[in-house]
Amino acid sequence: MNITVIGTGYVGLVSGACLSELGAHVTCVDLDEGKVERLKQGIMPIYEPGLEDIVVTNHEAGKLDFTTDTGAAVAKSDAVFIAVGTPQADGQAEADMSYVYGAAKGIAPHLKGYTVIIDKSTVPVGTARRVAEIIRAENPNADFDVASNPEFLREGSAVGDFMRPDRVVLGADTERAMTVLRRIYRPLALTGVPVEECNPETAEMAKYASNSFLAAKITFINQVADLCEKSGADVEDVARSMGLDKRIGPMFLKAGPGYGGSCFPKDTNAFAVIGRRNGSPQHLVEAVITANEDRKRRMCERIVEACGGSVEGKTIAVLGLTFKPDTDDVRDSPALTIVSKLHEMGARVKAHDPMGAEHAQAIFGKQAAEICDEPYACATGADAVAVVTDWAHFKTLDLKRLAATVRGKVVVDMRNIWDADEAIANGFDYHCIGRAPRFAAREQAAPLRRAAE
């Protein structure tokens, strides 16, 4: 099949590359000439494990092309995926649909023969109908259908999620369109991947409902963690016990500083707007949004409390700036809130992240934090160390070496990645999530008191 993907952002590039890996001939379209040329040279605009390999391999094999010429690409296509951004509109909670509608207008004049237009972007319910209206108004003689095929890609594991998904959701109103969709995803169906066929509205709703539910699950365990700290329970053990229940499952039950990234914040906000506009307010989702924003602010307060009530004039080392490991995405990362607020409170902030440092600094500014190339340099001279993102190499840091570089022996581990006993043994006061803090000075003094008695 000949497929065109409009947009070479996160969803568009991953989807286009993976579709070519499945055997289709794919042309990815982007208006940015520089970006297109870099992609032809194998230079990725995003960091995503495994993506560069399949882009380069399929481009060299002639199965994956990049162009700025929308018309030439669309004219030869059996299917056209719209995979452009739907960010939050400025100052509003709803999704900005201008890129999707603009893509529809750009596609319309170039349609030749029967073509299925497929919304891959995360879009409000009813978007497929609206896209069809736009195309029909621009090109009344076009022979086409509009379908919905939401993505369920996790940053950091997107290639695997596309090639080995939990399910594929296909939303179309006509058997003709559904036949094309089945052809596209036949290689995955043959491996046993469940394929859910439905109407476009159901597919559009499934995406928002899925992300909102996962965001609610994260927020729930974060609030349980707060209760564990007050009651003497251990949130890690609680989450493990909950996750063994097949009705609940272990995924997204990891307490931390709150969710971020390109999906959950904007999708929960958009879902809440959809609910209100349809006269069916999503009160649970609205509460999740509020709780998550409070969570980010509360994490900064944790650092202040661990430092004795003030960070003014103190140096705080922040390990991790991306919203999760294995990505360079810092959008709505809890670290952005934490760094900015620490700076406002008079702290000197040093920060390190393996992939997202430059993106983060572009948002919070050079004055807010000094960026360090590696974690030990980041911790040197610090009064406290805060772990915000659970990058794999943070988990294996030498705590003895770390203790030798810091000025203060305070750790605020927002991801519970370090062993409390090891931290105490190296002289740190260890503050974590969902457990009572442990204080090295107090615990090391206890044996001496017992000996004296």
Give strand pairing partners of 148.
119, 171
The pLDDT, as a whole number, for residue 139 is 97
Which residues in 203-334 belong to E strands, given as ranges?
Answer: 315-319
d(C-alpha 106, C-alpha 138), whole Å: 9
444 pLDDT above the threshold of 90? no
The pLDDT, as a whole number, for residue 88 is 82
DSSP count for the chain of H helices, then E strands: 19, 14
> Which residues are part of a known binding site for NAD(+)?
30, 35, 86, 122, 155, 266, 331
Domain spans of the chain, in order of start? 2-198, 208-294, 296-447
Which CATH number is 296-447's, of 3.50.50.60, 3.40.50.720, 3.40.50.10360, 3.40.309.10? 3.40.50.720
Q: Which fold has domain 2-198?
A: Rossmann fold (3.40.50)
pLDDT class of 448 with cuts at 50, 70, 90: very low
Q: What is the pLDDT of residues 169-191, one digit of tens each?
A: 999 999 999 999 999 999 999 99
90 pLDDT above the threshold of 90? no
How far CA 152 is from CA of 160, 163, 167, 168, 171, in Å, comes to 11, 11, 9, 9, 14
Residue with tokens 């904007």: 266
The pLDDT, as a whole number, for residue 145 is 98
272 pLDDT above the threshold of 60? yes
263 counts as catalytic = yes
CA dihedral 40, 43, 47, 53 (to 10 degrees): 60
Instruction: Single out the catalytic residue among 18, 28, 228, 263.
Output: 263
pLDDT class of 447 with cuts at 50, 70, 90: low
Domains 2-198 and 208-294 equal at CATH topology level: no
Q: What is the pLDDT of residues 411-434, one digit of tens each?
A: 999 999 999 999 999 999 999 999
Q: CB-hemisphere CA count at 13 Å for 95?
A: 26
Q: What is the pLDDT of residues 35-56, one digit of tens each?
A: 999 999 999 999 999 999 999 9
> Which residues are part of a known binding site for substrate?
152-155, 207, 252-256, 260, 324
Q: What is the pLDDT of residues 180-220, one digit of tens each?
A: 999 999 999 999 999 999 999 999 999 999 999 999 999 99
Length of the chain in residues, anyone? Answer: 453
> Which residues are part of a known binding site?
30, 35, 86, 122, 152-155, 207, 252-256, 260, 266, 324, 331
Which CATH number is 208-294's, of 3.90.870.30, 1.10.1040.10, 3.30.110.30, 3.40.190.10? 1.10.1040.10
